[in-house]
Amino acid sequence: MTARSAPAPWQNRIVGTGEEAPGDLIANPANWRTHPTGQRAALRGSLTEVGWVQQVMVNRRSGHVVDGHARVEEALARGEATVPVLYVDLDPEEEALVLATLDPIGAMATRDDAKLAELLAGISIDNEGLAALLGDLLPRGPKAGLTDADEVPEVKATSIKRGDLFALGDHRLLCGDAVNPGDVARLLGGGHSNVARD
């Protein structure tokens, strides 16, 4: 038997920390993430209520921001003198890979609704942007209008014939032929004649 060699340790690409004037930081020209109004409001609320808890990531080689574009923009809008920076050392291909995957990897995490509900129960916040975010995080019960798996909604039509289309909440049910292009088009939103509502 041969002994297995230990894998090489992961490289530490962090080369320093510091503070920079937000106006001196260079937005990454390849940044693909946009920041809608609700996210901006939540971010502003977090920075106002708590302050900086995450640094802006800057590639020392290119000078580009790799993560934290919205934080830099919010700091500029507010007139902040400096922002905390985490410097990394990446070649252009590595910078592109980190820019493409950093947020999506984080978004792959799943949630434990019981732990989340317990966590949220202990948080009280007046900031409107943060309150909206926390409200969106609350675990949701069954969607209104859904029924138990064993309950079948009663169809109000007295007799059903080919061509009858039923609206069942968010769903549509057509008595037709799945390989007939006309029936399929009607089911997917074409004609609305003879529609029975639930």
Domain count for the chain = 2
pLDDT for 96 equals 97
Together in a domain, 87 and 23: yes
What are the pLDDT digits (tens) for 25-77? Answer: 999 999 999 999 999 999 999 999 999 999 999 999 999 999 999 999 999 99
Does the residue 132 lie in any domain?
Answer: no
What are the pLDDT digits (tens) for 63-97? Answer: 999 999 999 999 999 999 999 999 999 999 999 99
Which has the closest alpha carbon to 68: 52, 80, 49, 48? Answer: 52
Does the residue 88 lie in any domain?
Answer: yes
What one-character DSSP code corresponds to residue 64?
Answer: B
Reading the block at residue 162, the tokens are: 């080919």
Does the residue 48 lie in any domain?
Answer: yes
Question: Across the beta sheet with 171-174, what order do the strands follow?
Answer: 171-174, 165-168, 195-197
Does the residue 81 lie in any domain?
Answer: yes
- Record the pTM: 0.67
Together in a domain, 102 and 22: yes
Does the residue 178 lie in any domain?
Answer: yes
Does the residue 123 lie in any domain?
Answer: no
Q: Which residues lie below 8 Å from residue 158, measured CB to CB, with a gap of 6+?
A: none
Together in a domain, 20 and 78: yes
Together in a domain, 18 and 100: yes
Does the residue 49 lie in any domain?
Answer: yes
CATH number at residue 94: 3.90.1530.10
Comparing 140 with 114, the larger pLDDT belongs to 114
- Tell me the C-alpha distance between 46 and 128, whole Å: 11
Together in a domain, 103 and 156: no
Last residue of a domain, one of 82, 107, 132: 107
Q: Are 192 and 165 in contact (CB under 8 A)?
A: yes
pLDDT for 198 equals 42
Last residue of a domain, one of 89, 107, 125: 107
Residue 197: band (very low, low, confident or very high) from pLDDT cuts 50, 70, 90: very low
Reading the block at residue 167, the tokens are: 């609206």
Does the residue 4 lie in any domain?
Answer: no
Last residue of a domain, one of 77, 92, 107: 107
Q: Are 195 and 164 in contact (CB under 8 A)?
A: no
Together in a domain, 96 and 166: no
Range of the domain at 156: 151-198
